[in-house]
Amino acid sequence: MLSRPSVPSDLSVTPDPSTASDPNAVSDLVEPVLAWYDACGRDLPWRRPEATPWGVFVSEVMSQQTPLSRVEPRWVEWLTRWPTPAALAADSPGEAVRAWDRLGYPRRALRLHEAATAMVRDHDGQVPERLEELLALPGVGAYTAAAVLAFAYGGHSVVVDTNVRRVQARAVSGRALAAPTQTAAEVRLAASLVPDDPGLAARWNVAIMELGALVCTARSPQCERCPIREACAWQAAGAPPDDGPPRRGQSWHGTDRQIRGRILALLRAAPGPLPRGALEAACPEEPDRFARCLAGLVEDRLIEPDEAPDEAPDEAEEAAPEEDPGTSGDSGDLYRLPR
């Protein structure tokens, strides 16, 4: 919900990387980054003036560990179907999981539904405006609370994600990459860079994240396009490579996450419950892994057993031989998305 006010055009001051944390150097970093964002930032629907706090909230939950190119179409579908917290809370958790589709980490869909329910119950159906109230919502941590406060309400907060950490590691600390996990020192550094003015602070938060996402990327930084290249401590040091241990990306193929995703995809596509035998198509070669993934989905409340109503068996059923355990014909072996 950020507007784009005009940005000062006089960017002639060259910052000194060695003093990047003092007020003057911070100002010299902020102005070029804001100017770059004004010209190059992506036009995403949740950044437009008409975006609602609920739309911003949904975008932040969806964007965690998910590329924005995949988030945008799903966000549009969600906001069309559930334009308010009350609309989502009135629907079932299973429909939230179904609509989540293949965004990944589907427990976020349940947390969104739980957060919407809490907003209706405790906040008159509105996204709360205070940091402590945001943090009390189900599934909301420090990053999401700070981002919603900044981007939905223009509040002064310190928004720290992977992109922010990487930009400040290079521009201020002279390192190729940030620490493997977020540190208190990184949060303090991010806080020192945020302008005091709430309006500028909100714009700085989104601008530095965008710079990390589009220019100061992890694997192929486009330093020739960077608005603070002349101020960058990493560039001044000759862009040394990361001296930490090799970092491996998260695998997907052949993991339990992949099997869980296949099971959920089958249930999303089905108009009703499916028997266990049909779900076994998600992992036919490894029955033990399938059983583990199925049990994990039930434990995480992403799916649930669907018990058929008790009925008195007829004579033919009584006379029929008992089926082997785990066959797809068992009425008690049905699964569905949560109600």
Catalytic residues: 60
Residue 88 has a CB neighbour count (10 Å cut-off) of: 25
Residue 316 has a CB neighbour count (10 Å cut-off) of: 7
Are the C-beta atoms of 119 and 140 separated by less than 8 Å? no
Are the C-beta atoms of 228 and 171 separated by less than 8 Å? yes
| Torsion angle in degrees (nearest 10) through CA of 152, 54, 159, 208 | -70
Question: 3-class SS at 305?
Answer: strand
Residue 244 has a CB neighbour count (10 Å cut-off) of: 12
C-alpha count within 13 angstroms, C-beta hemisphere, residue 165: 16
Handedness of CA 47, 111, 294, 269 (dihedral sign): negative
Backbone angles phi, psi at 274, to 5 degrees: -125, 145
| Angstrom distance (rounded) from CA 30 to CA 32 | 6
Nearest of 98, 2, 101 to residue 47 by alpha carbon: 2
Question: 3-class SS at 271?
Answer: coil
Written as six digits, the tokens of 54 are 């609920």
Residue 280 has a CB neighbour count (10 Å cut-off) of: 17
Number of H helices, E strands in the chain: 16, 3
Handedness of CA 250, 254, 260, 264 (dihedral sign): positive
C-alpha count within 13 angstroms, C-beta hemisphere, residue 67: 4
